[in-house]
Amino acid sequence: MNTNDILEILTKNINEVIGTSISSVTPEMSLRELGANSVDRADILMQTMSDLNVRLSMVEFAAAKNVGDIAAIFHNHLASDSQ
Amino acid sequence: MTLNKNSSSIFSLKLIREEEESLTAWLCLSKKTLLELEQSMFDWIHPEEKSTADRLTFPKRKISYLLGRYSAKRALAEINPTSLKKIFVGEGVFNHPLLHGTVSKELQISIAHTKEVGAALIFNEAQPMAIDIESNDGEHSSTIESQLTPIEKDFLKHQWSSTFGINPYPWIWTAKEALGKVLKTGLTTPMSLFLIKELEVEDSFIKATYENFPQYKVLSFLWNEIIVSIVLPKKTKMILLEAH
């Protein structure tokens, strides 16, 4: 699975949780600018973890500034899991 | 404690501490649509705030931004009603709100929002405070529960009472988030560090203390099915009075 696949999953979950209808979230967008509050953010991350069948601590996303960073964190975890 | 009002409520918070002069903080809770906010904004919005709002593309972000500023200005109006458009609610490096242009440099602000409800707390920096709010509908309960430690789940199971009329999961989220705000770390700090120690009903509030931050407590109440949690120094007594 590559980062674009993960971005697609994130887009789906962002739209579901926040109620947006974005066709494609770009990596530069932040969840905050999309309108997510803290619990929305947790919802989006939890749903994405479920979709990707991974379990990460929320703290691992603390430094993520935008959706691209979030996707990269997921991608790195998946890549290290597969090794 | 359940307080029910229409679209906005202003409260004065009398803060009493032994051997100290009492202080007053101001709280505004507002329920507004984006249209209502945009129609009223020219009465209170600072040019920098307007410029920021104009750049916000997504409606949910725009409403949260304007709700926070509107609630802040309404609370500030209790202190000085004539210069609201000269006060700018900006942000610090941790996205924490900062007041610019107030007469007193000691004034601090905490902002929260959920759905179409905004909250702003204006207080003197001598008594650090913060606020968080969440809907009592329990929409996010399963996510919140997944973030709790087994000890916390057990704690809520045994200490929480249905007579509180408040859903425990959004409540504990507001208690933790408000603590994160007063510490200016937000939830970038592991939530498990914000462990609740004790819980009781005091003066119509749900009062809780923290295991790892004994200098603070949180007082919570319900407003129009919105859980409101205010963190303040543990030894400070708070009397909440509805101004209008």
Q: What is the pLDDT along chain B (244 residues), one digit of tens a residue?
A: 444 445 899 999 999 998 888 999 999 999 999 999 999 999 999 999 999 999 998 889 999 999 999 999 999 999 888 789 999 999 998 889 999 988 788 999 999 999 889 999 999 999 999 999 999 998 899 999 998 999 999 999 999 999 999 999 999 999 999 999 999 987 778 888 999 999 999 988 999 999 999 999 999 999 999 999 999 999 999 999 988 7
Q: Is A19 at the interface with chain B, CB within 8 A?
A: yes
Measured distance between the N- and C-terminal CA atoms of chain B, rounded to whole angstroms: 17
ipTM value: 0.86
Whether the CB-CB separation of B172 and B144 falls below 8 Å is answered with yes
User: Burial code of B2-32, b = ≥16 C-beta within 10 A, e = fewer?
Assistant: ebeeeebbbbbbebeeeeeeebebbbbbbbb
Whether the CB-CB separation of B119 and B25 falls below 8 Å is answered with no
Contact yes or no for A39 and B140 at CB 8 A: yes
Radius of gyration of chain B (CA): 17
pLDDT (0 to 100) of residue A23: 74
Name the residue with tokens 């999309």. Answer: A34
Q: Residue B113: its chain A contacts at CB < 8 A? A: 37
**What residues contact residue B38 under an 8 Å CB cut-off, 6+ apart?**
B66
Question: How far apart are the C-alpha atoms of A55 and A48, rounded to whole Å?
Answer: 10
Residue A66 token pair: 């935008």
Cα distance from A76 to chain B (closest Cα, Å)? 20
Residue B61 token pair: 């972000």
Q: Is B61 at the interface with chain A, CB within 8 A?
A: yes
Question: How far apart are the C-alpha atoms of B155 and B237, rounded to whole Å?
Answer: 25
